[in-house]
Every structure is written in C-alpha cells, then in structure tokens.
Amino acid sequence: MTETLFLSSDAIEDLASPAEYVEAVREGYRQRGRGAPADPRSAYFRTDPDGMFTDYAALLPETGAMGGYMYSAGFDAGDAWFVTPLFDAQSGEPLAILDGASMNPFKTGAAGAVAVDSLAREDATTLAVVGTGPQARGQVHTTATVRDFEEVRVYSPTAENRAAFADEFDDQLEASVRAVSSSEAAVSGADVVITATTSTEPVFDGEHLEPGAHVTAMGQYHPDKRELDATTIERSTYVPDLRERVSQDAGSFIAAREAGRVSDEHVHAELGDVVAGTEPGRTAADEITVFDSGGTGIETVAAASLLYERALENDRGTPIPFAPASEALTGRRRDR
C-alpha cells in the first residue's frame, strides 16, 4: 500500500507563480527535444447526450515524473472535469491525483510563453490578444514573464468582455493595456499575437501580420477549429507542440494543406526541438513564426510535478491509500 496525494483545485491554486510554471514547462519541452516520450491526445465523442472524453500523456525522465490529463466535457451535466494523475518515473508509484482545472490556463499559457521566448524577437514590445476567456488570461499572465511588453491590445467580439479584460490587466501589468474594436486593430503592428478562442473560422487576416511577428495559437485542437487562416500558416515558420498531432487535429494547418497552400514539409520542428537546441528557431528579424498549441502531456506533467513538490513543502493535500496490483489482485500485502 502506498499513499497518493489528492490535490484539489483550491489546494494548488496559489502554489506556483506564472514564471515558475514557465520554467517548469520549459524544462519539460527541453526533455521532449532530447527524446522524452509524449503522445497526442485521444478523443472520444458521444451524441445524445453530447459529450467528449479526452486524454494525453508524457514521461519526463529528468523531472522524474510521468502522467497526463484526462477530462470529460458535456454529457448530461453540461460541465467539464479535469483529472491529472501523476506517477513516479522511477518506481512507477502514483504520486498524486490533481484536480487540474485551476492549473489548466497556467500550464497551457506556460507552453505559449516558452514558445514566445524561443521564437519571438527579443525586442518584442507589443502584444495582441484575440480572446478574453480563462485561457487568454493564462497566456497573458505567463507571456508577460518572458518579454517586457509596453503595449497590450485585446479584442473580443463582445465589447464588455474586452473592456473588462483590458481593465483587469491594465492594473496587473506594467504595460498599457487597452481594448480595440477589431482583430485588425489588435494584430496590425503587433510583435506577438496570441489567439485563445474556440473559433471554427480564422480570427484575423494573415495579411495584417507584420514581418517579424510571432503568433501563438492555442485553440487548435480539433480538425474543425481554425483560428489561423492559410495565409498565416503559409507565411510562417510553423512549429507545433507535437509533430504527430498536426495531421490529427491541427485544424488551421489541415485547412491550409487541403487548400494546397502548404505541404507536410512545412512543419519546421517541434517546440521541444527548438528549446533543446536541436533545431533552430527564428533565424531572421523579419521572419513570421507560429506556435500551434493543442495541449500535450508535456506541460501537464511538468506543471503537475511542480505543484506536487510545492504541495509537499506546504503540507497541502489529502493522502489516500493506493494498493499496488500485487496486493489488490491477490488480497495479500506485499513485503516491502
């Protein structure tokens, strides 16, 4: 029998800063670039009632942790649940089970921030944000730790949402944050662009991107999701979180390929390859770069391991007994 720590959303909410999430996730992607295994998500759908169940996993040997993400959305409850199991990569024992809801925007935002730090120009000072939900908030909190932005422009089709978002972050960031009335007004002249939506249609015209801009798109997790147009994909040095995921559910890339604008060879490298230094990132000041983030076990395990260690340090969580198979299957306690 072993003790596994259950960590509720409340227990982990204040355990790590945005910058600490970024450093943990950066290390996870560095390990991926050196061969750490990670697979794209598997998704299962049901109708009547409509619902989705999805999962993905990774093993980070140097972190000493493995695990992943499992979540359900919809069904009769019309809600979502995020469950993160974390295991010891040496012994295989379960370390923790996390309610992953509160960490979700930060671990996903951290992946975007690592991409910005790896691909955006060093002198980037203007940030455009399309979307104002929890994921957009996570992206801004984390990305603001890797570049010294002077101006942040935010657009959402709902005027009240973009105004509230701008007011919130204008109080929190040193940069000037303002709402704008169109995606063109947000994107034109921006050094870094973040899209955090669930859109099935492109949210800006790729012709409006300035040479040298970087784009992080994090709503690209279904073949029918298409935040970026074919022009943006075609103009860019295109970097996904996982190469294997691109043909599976990277909707913007799939649409551009089907339109004959790009081929599979347009995929430059995985983010881990760039972080680990095995492939180059940006090579020119006027180069447009895109990070396509669909969600992986890399940032999930990296963030969960960080939170688990912090929980131990701060005496957080509830221990629960977990029987190894040798006991559970036979009913006999194993000598240890």
Identity at 263, one-letter amino acid code: S
Identity at 226, one-letter amino acid code: R
Residue 336 domain flag: no
Site of tokens 């009913």:
331
In this prediction, what percent of the chain has a pLDDT beyond 70?
98
Q: How sure is the predictor about 220, in pLDDT bands with cuts at 50, 70 and 90?
A: low
Among 147, 118, 111, which residue's Cα sits nearest to residue 281?
118
What stretch of H or E contains 69? strand 65-74
Same domain, 189 and 254: yes
Same domain, 133 and 9: no
Same domain, 314 and 185: no
Residue 43 domain flag: yes
Q: Is 164 left (phi over 0), alpha (psi -120 to 50) or beta?
A: alpha
Same domain, 168 and 275: yes
Is the Cβ–Cβ distance between 196 and 129 less than 8 Å?
Answer: yes
Q: Is the peptide bond before 49 cis (omega within 30 degrees of 0)?
A: yes
Identity at 305, one-letter amino acid code: S
Same domain, 97 and 116: no
| 160-164, 201-205, 327-331, range with the lowest pLDDT | 327-331
Is the Cβ–Cβ distance between 163 and 179 less than 8 Å?
Answer: yes
pTM, full prediction: 0.94
pLDDT at 86 over 90: yes
Same domain, 90 and 119: no
CATH code of 113's domain: 3.40.50.720
Q: Report how many domains make up the chain.
A: 2
Residue 24 domain flag: yes
Helix ranges restricted to H, 134-173? 134-143, 159-172
pLDDT at 334 over 90: no
Contacts (Cβ under 8 Å, ≥6 apart) of 325:
none
Mean pLDDT value across residues 202-210: 96
In the structure encoding, which two tokens stand for residue 212, read together? 């040298």
- Cα distance from N-terminal residue to C-terminal residue, the chain: 9
Same domain, 99 and 112: no
Number of C-beta neighbours around residue 192 at 10 A: 26
Domain extent at residue 316: 2-104+297-328
Same domain, 129 and 45: no
Residue 156 domain flag: yes
Residue 262 domain flag: yes
Contacts (Cβ under 8 Å, ≥6 apart) of 94:
2, 4, 85, 86, 87, 88, 322
Q: Which residue has the higher pLDDT, 10 or 221?
A: 10
CA gap 158, 155 in Å, rounded: 8
Q: What is the pLDDT of residue 185?
A: 98
CA atoms within 13 A on the CB side of 1: 7
Residue 141 domain flag: yes
Same domain, 307 and 278: no
CA gap 91, 125 in Å, rounded: 45
Residue 137 domain flag: yes
List pLDDT tens digits, range 225-241: 899 999 999 999 999 99
Same domain, 81 and 10: yes
* The length of the chain, given as a count of residues: 336
Residue 334 domain flag: no
CATH code of 48's domain: 3.30.1780.10
CA gap 65, 63 in Å, rounded: 6
In the structure encoding, which two tokens stand for residue 237, read together? 């040095």
Residue 322 forms beta bridges with which residues? 2
> In this structure, what is the dihedral angle of CA atoms 134, 140, 146, 152, given to the nearest 10 degrees?
170
Same domain, 274 and 314: no
CA gap 279, 271 in Å, rounded: 9
Same domain, 124 and 24: no
Q: What is the pLDDT of residue 336?
A: 46
Among 85, 89, 87, 110, which residue's Cα sits nearest to residue 98?
85
